[in-house]
Copies of this chain bind each other. A is one copy, B any other.
């Protein structure tokens, strides 16, 4: 690790605690855009440490890689992210969390209304509301109920 401004993938892994394979994966997903050395090796900017830290934090907050990518894509092109940028993103994330909490609370309340009822009727049970299920999950396991 010569004292250039650029970091190898191993350096970056050491600094962030990430596995090398994970960093390559993140590049594939468009979360980082390293330069390449003459020989084809990845060369990262120092600011990428921060970028990767952000990814880790956002993941802890429950954001998917895709959601994180969207946030990062919104960073003004070509310049390094500032504190301001991170703050803006943090606020966006906060709304996401708030929404998630609200949804869980709604569910909990419905469950409370159901405890003791025990009906579990598809027609009557408040917990089982097909409209709530539609578009709940996005891609992945999908119930093709609405077809």
Kindly state whether residue A116 has any CB partner on chain B within 8 Å. Answer: yes
Kindly state whether residue A35 has any CB partner on chain B within 8 Å. Answer: no
Which one of B57, B115, B119 contacts A120 once the chains associate, using CB atoms below 8 Å? Answer: B57
Contact, CB under 8 Å: A108 / B114: no
Kindly state whether residue A94 has any CB partner on chain B within 8 Å. Answer: yes
Interface of A is mostly: helix
Chain A residues packing against B (C-beta within 8 Å) = 15-19, 22, 49-50, 53-54, 56-57, 60-62, 82-84, 86-87, 90-91, 93-94, 97-98, 100-101, 104-105, 107-108, 111-112, 114-122, 125, 127-128, 130, 132-133, 136, 143-145
Contact, CB under 8 Å: B108 / A18: no
B residues near A91, Cβ cutoff 8 Å: 115
Bound Cα distance from A15 to B128, whole angstroms? 14
Which one of B19, B86, B118, B144 contacts A118 once the chains associate, using CB atoms below 8 Å? Answer: B86
Contact, CB under 8 Å: A18 / B53: no
Q: Which residue of B lies closest to A116 (CB)?
A: B87
Bound Cα distance from A90 to B115, whole angstroms? 6
Contact A111/B94 with A18-B145, A101-B104, A104-B101 known, Cβ cut-off 8 Å:
yes
Contact, CB under 8 Å: B17 / A61: no
B residues near A107, Cβ cutoff 8 Å: 60-62, 97
Bound Cα distance from A108 to B61, whole angstroms? 8
Which one of B22, B53, B61, B100 contacts A111 once the chains associate, using CB atoms below 8 Å? Answer: B61
